[in-house]
Structure 1
Amino acid sequence: MSTDVEPQRGGRGARQRIIEAAIKLFYQEGVNATGVERLAAEASVSKRTLYQHFPSKTAVVEEYLRYIRQHVGDPIHPDADAARRSPRARILALFETPPAGGLMRGCPFHNAAVEAADGMPEVHEIVEAHKRAYVDGLVALVREAGAANPTLLGNQIAVLYEGAAALSTSLNEPEPWTYARKAVQTLVDAAIKRASA
């Protein structure tokens, strides 16, 4: 998932600049590694201004995750162009191999959950809601594709997605996405074949 956002400098829109800085820094450097001073500097605001918009760093993390959830493309609930593709094609599109050469950082929701540990329960609630909605969306998508046992298949695809994201991050290599895509294609085609038999 790309989170490249070029922050604006100075002037109005401090809240949006803080969110944009959080998108960049939290994803690339990590939630815990990014201090409030660094976040304020990247957003071109004072710490005072940051705290006027967000009462705590945790509040910034929460808004960062909400913003990503609302504004990043979603193949499960796609825009009009992506919706023209078949459900099977949309499932496989989830596993397109990211371009090589960039730093693999994985899922921002998973990363935030790991970094939040027990210190930010509100963050865990946002992550859990997102992941549950994601699995539910996969189940609906495989049902639409005509697969047998969509609950099982949707959950299997979710596990493969999470595994590909984690392993590509650990190895800093895109190949896990290729392997996961092949596994998903096999599972989806077999489930569709069973349903039509």
Structure 2
Amino acid sequence: MTHPRGRGARERIVAAAAALFEAQGITATTMEQIAASAPVSKRTLYAHFPAKDDLVVTFLRYVHELGLTAENALYDDEIPVRDRILAMFTVPVRGDGPVRGCPFTAAAIEFPDPDSPAHAYTRDRKHAFTIRIAELLADLGAEDPAGLAEQLAIVADGVSSRAMVFNDTGRADLGRAAAEALLRAEGI
């Protein structure tokens, strides 16, 4: 196994931030904790990430690119299209701490300024998420794929939020049932 110091400083910082954000939340995690966990000096940390917002955006890209979100299922060509849509109603479990819900929503909440980089990146990801759902719904022949995609995205976001609030990944089953009802109503 490679010792953490064997990786580049930037990579260690992102990995440490991801672990701490997952365990403690974004706001509760200090840059000092991240530097200590990486391990890097605060000077090195700030050389790579001048502001916490910059690190949060990199963290969000990291979880997205690694496929650690419910959105990942929408791109799995091995699964039938309808099943991909329903698969997004699985709350990803990352670590053995409490259910954290959607990292993008958490970032938007913790960076409420709509113009902040973390909030803007979240908005872009949520928009891309809804567009992807609409593409899949169009493949299934939905009459109004954009409208139905927005409804399903709202249900998915609600599942993620309620799973976090109640610390219960089983909330996804209720969301999946609601999604199935929406799809049946559309004849899909």
Please give the TM-score of this superposition, normalised by the length of structure 2.
0.88
The corresponding residue for 1:95 is: 89
Q: Indicate the percent of aligned positions where both proteins have the same amino acid.
A: 36
C-alpha distance after superposition, 1:150-171 (max 9, x if no partner): 1121111101000000011111
Cross-structure match for 1:3: none
Q: Which residue of 73, 76, 96 corresponds with 1:75?
A: 73
Aligned equivalents of 1:148 and 1:120: distance in 2?
34
Distance 1:18 1:119, change over 3 A: farther
Structure 1 pair 60–102 and aligned structure 2 pair: CA distance change class (3 A): closer
For this pair of structures, how many residues does the alignment match? 183
State whether residues 134 and 145 of structure 2, in contact with CA within 8 Å, keep that contact through their aligned partners in structure 1: yes
2:181 to 175, 179, 186: 186
Contact 1:7-1:43 within 8 A present in 2 as well: no
What letter matches 1:89 in structure 2? D
Asked if 1:159 corresponds to 2:154, the answer is yes
Q: Which residue of 2 aligns with 1:148?
A: 143
User: How far apart in 1 are the matches of 2:141 and 2:115?
Assistant: 40
Residue aligned with 1:192, SS:
coil
State the shift of 1:7 in Å.
Answer: 9.3
Q: Shift in Å at residue 32 of structure 1?
A: 1.2
Aligned to 2:5, the other structure's residue is in SS state coil
Q: 1:168 aligns with which of 163, 166, 175?
A: 163
Q: Which ranges in structure 1 are unaligned for 5 or more consecutive residues?
A: 1-5
1:132 equivalenced with 2:130 (yes/no): no
Name the SS of the counterpart of 1:178 in structure 2.
helix
Cα-Cα RMSD: 2.2
Deviates more, 1:182-191 or 1:89-98: 89-98
1:105 maps to which residue? 100
* Structure 2, unaligned runs of 5 or more: none
Report the TM-score, using the length of structure 1 for normalisation.
0.84
Does the Cα contact within 8 Å between 2:131 and 2:149 map onto a contact in 1?
Answer: yes
